[in-house]
Amino acid sequence: MTSPMIQKDIVSACKIETVKAILDELNDDYFALLVDESFDVSRKEQMAIVFRYIDRMGFVMERLIDIVYVEDTSASSLKEAIFNLLAQHSLSPSSVRGQCYDGASNMQGEINGLKMLIRRESKSAHSIHCFAHQLQLTLVGRMDNLRDSQKSTIQVALDMGELTTGRGLNQQLGLLRACDTRWGSHYKSFNNFIIMFGSILEVLESLALDARSMDERAKAMGHLEACQTFEIAFMLHLMRDVLAITNELNKCLQKKEQDITNAMLLVEVAKRRLQVLRDDEWDSLIAKVSTFCIKHDVLIPNFEEPYVSSLRSRRKLANYTILHHYRVEVFCNIIDWQLQELNDRFDEVTTDLLHGIACLNPINSFSSFDIRKVMRMAELYPDDFDESNISILENQLASYIVDVRDVDERFSDLNGLCDLSKRLVQTKKHSNYPLVFRLVKLALLLPVATASVERAFSAMKFIKNDLRSQMSDDFFSGCLVPYLEKDVFDKISNDVIIKTFQDMKPRRIQL
């Protein structure tokens, strides 16, 4: 039992049975692929592969199947690794009904990207650019613009992420360095900056007094003077309000059971909230900023005076007021940038596919149902609906909508496609309308975000860390899969794992 070889075999047996239980849930049905790559602590490129599928009870599941080492990150190499994994578990690439990746060219390339290579094997494997990743790109795009137009102010807030306040491991607040790929990091940084503003000023004053060199003192004094300006106070509160909206959207997009229709609606909600902020909440923002400035002895400017930029001579006054600068050039511009980015990024789902899925949504007693649009959606899945199935589907849809909307009251309180899938199974209607249920499953299979993959990467540091950085790839994968899929692993009996361990190779003694 203390032999490293025996321990690794036991770990492998645990992983084998965990994956077997997941595949049993899958039940040889269709599934979607969620794939991403990341470096581990030893700087080896790892590819995590997650399956999204509908289990026997109609629940949407996202499960880590494996994490594999890849030397070459070209699309063809990634495809080969994925297909080898599928073959290992006796799964066919033709069963893939959805793909979700980040925006890397090897994933999203329109000619030889991974999504196109898999589409050649399965025409119905529609690809989604990870919504959470797209949302992060809208933030990155805006932050780049801000660095150019408001560099002297916003950079102070970003640089402050390098400061650490307090001691010990139990601090409730901290300032994270803003990162382009860390979801929510910008919102947390700005929010904590506002909450800790007084403490930050004290830290900067201490740094200036205790500086070892004139350069360090000058830098601390520069940050201190910049922080004690109305411009910094205004930018902090504006960015917090804008990022609070997108932060809520981001958290919703990362839910495993999230469906594509709800995701698009959530994006629309975020757009409308930003528009309301732009049109109606200027006065409330100024009131918050003014209260903040009074509390921290920051001078509030006269908004009717001409604006003087810190980058131009004070003798060259601008031909617009301070009010115009903050309301039009800063407030409106930042919100307009965010709205434009959201409009540009979230457009990769084909109109016919999205409209068809929206028509299946049971919200408001199936008020959006349109049989023509649903039939058009079915045509986008040629591997699942041939000519004979299309005519049968149309007849089933006509009976189905009368049943669930007008006859069976058990379908009157549904809040989305996930609820619909579960209720169809609970009421046994999935067997009455098998082709309709197939359409519902195909709609749910389209992934929204690679959050499950990101969770796998977050868990990697607990398995492979600085003190244990030379693990073999098999041992690493064997530890990670049961660790991440604890709920599946906990249901596997020890006897099953022992049997798998015994069957792996001849043993001199029974475990």
**Boundary residue ending a domain (327, 345, 363):** 345
Q: Tell me the average pLDDT across 299-319.
A: 76
Q: Give residue 330's pLDDT.
A: 93
Which H or E run includes 373?
helix 371-379
pLDDT in tens, 322-363: 999 999 999 999 999 989 888 887 765 677 888 899 999 999
Please indicate, yes or no, if residue 510 is contained in any of the structural domains: no
Q: Give residue 445's pLDDT.
A: 94
Query: 101 - beta bridge partners?
Result: 129
Alpha-carbon distance 281 to 287, whole Å?
A: 10
Please indicate, yes or no, if residue 245 is contained in any of the structural domains: yes
175 and 93 in one domain?
no
**Boundary residue ending a domain (418, 445, 472):** 445
Q: Tell me the average pLDDT across 419-447.
A: 95
422 and 369 in one domain?
yes
Q: Mind spelling out the 3-state secondary structure of 177-195? A: CCCCCCCCHHHHHHHHHHH
326 and 189 in one domain?
yes
pLDDT in tens, 228-258: 999 999 999 999 999 899 888 888 888 888 8
Q: pTM of the full predicted structure?
A: 0.81
117 and 99 in one domain?
yes
Q: Which residues of 110-132 are buried (b: 16+ CB within 10 A; e: fewer)?
A: eeebbbbbbbeebebbbbbbbbb
273 and 336 in one domain?
yes
Please indicate, yes or no, if residue 509 is contained in any of the structural domains: no
292 and 216 in one domain?
yes
pLDDT in tens, 190-211: 888 899 898 888 888 888 888 8
What is the residue range of 360's domain? 351-445
Query: Is residue 185 within 8 Å of 178, Cβ to Cβ?
Result: yes
Please indicate, yes or no, if residue 475 is contained in any of the structural domains: yes
Q: Which residues of 71-84 are buried (b: 16+ CB within 10 A; e: fewer)?
A: eeeebeebbebbbe
Residue 287 carries which side chain, given as an amino acid letter? A
341 and 390 in one domain?
no
207 and 172 in one domain?
yes
Please indicate, yes or no, if residue 511 is contained in any of the structural domains: no
436 and 454 in one domain?
no
Query: Is residue 159 within 8 Å of 223, Cβ to Cβ?
Result: yes
Structural tokens at position 473: 């790839």
303 and 161 in one domain?
yes
Query: Is residue 122 within 8 Å of 94, Cβ to Cβ?
Result: yes
Comparing C-alpha atoms, which of 506, 424, 492, 477 is closest to residue 8? Answer: 477
Please indicate, yes or no, if residue 333 is contained in any of the structural domains: yes
**Boundary residue ending a domain (287, 313, 345):** 345
Would you state the torsion angle of the CA atoms of residues 269, 105, 259, 93, taken in this order, to the nearest 10 degrees? 170
Question: Total domain count for the chain?
Answer: 3
Structural tokens at position 354: 């999205």
375 and 312 in one domain?
no
Would you state the torsion angle of the CA atoms of residues 343, 346, 352, 358, taken in this order, to the nearest 10 degrees? -100
488 and 366 in one domain?
no
- pLDDT at position 159 over 80: no
- pLDDT at position 45 over 80: yes
pLDDT in tens, 208-221: 888 888 888 888 88
Residue in this structure with the two tokens 């494997």, named with its chain if needed: 125
Please indicate, yes or no, if residue 463 is contained in any of the structural domains: yes
Domain with residue 41: its CATH number is 3.30.420.10
Please indicate, yes or no, if residue 487 is contained in any of the structural domains: yes
Q: DSSP per residue over 243-303, as a string? A: HHHHHHHHHHHT-TT--HHHHHHHHHHHHHHHHHHHHH-HHHHHHHHHHHHHHTTPPPP-T
Average confidence score pLDDT of the chain = 86
Q: Tell me the average pLDDT across 368-372.
A: 94
Q: Give residue 311's pLDDT.
A: 57
